[in-house]
């Protein structure tokens, strides 16, 4: 009976350890411009804000070339910095709450990475519609 309890506790511990992953950041993702239309910074800002809003992110401009994205989901909070210019953008982790962020290990709950990947894809879709 004791061995069964130890095995079960070990399995539960592995489940909790498996929920964390290395923090996913987006670095220098290219912004495509076709020859007919040079995307403006205002269009980039609008695309990022609208992409984020479609997923529940609140995106606010901090200064030219930099925005902050905040996602409040249930009891979880994720904050990212979004830096951009006419050629590229980056999405970088800033802060979180209730996502088991471990700075030394640079790890966080794996759901965070999915949220960032979804945000990145949504931004790409919005930007790509500008070049059509």
Residue 79 confidence (pLDDT)? 98
pLDDT in tens, 27-44: 999 998 766 778 899 999
Residue 99 confidence (pLDDT)? 96
CATH (one of 3.30.310, 3.30.499, 3.40.50, 2.40.128) for 21-130: 3.30.310
Nearest-angstrom CA–CA distance, 45 and 98: 29
What residues have CB less than 8 Å from 22, skipping those under 6 apart? 106, 107
Check: CB of residue 48 under 8 Å from CB of residue 84: yes
pLDDT in tens, 81-91: 999 999 999 99
**Residue ranges of domains in the chain:** 21-130
Question: Is the confidence at residue 97, as pLDDT, over 70?
Answer: yes
Residue 38 confidence (pLDDT)? 82
């Amino acid at each position: 009976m004791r061995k069964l309890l130890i095995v079960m506790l070990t399995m539960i511990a592995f489940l909790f350890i498996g929920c964390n992953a290395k923090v996913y950041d987006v670095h220098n993702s290219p912004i495509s411009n076709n020859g007919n239309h040079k995307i403006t910074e205002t269009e980039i800002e609008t695309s990022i804000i609208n992409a984020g809003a479609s997923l529940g992110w609140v995106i606010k401009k901090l200064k030219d070339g930099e925005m902050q994205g905040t996602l409040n989901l249930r009891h979880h909070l994720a904050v990212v910095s979004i830096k951009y210019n006419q050629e590229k953008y980056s999405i970088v982790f800033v802060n979180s709450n209730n996502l088991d962020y471990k700075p030394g290990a640079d790890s966080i709950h794996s759901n965070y990475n999915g949220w960032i990947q979804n945000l990145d894809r949504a931004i790409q879709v919005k930007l790509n519609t500008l070049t059509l």
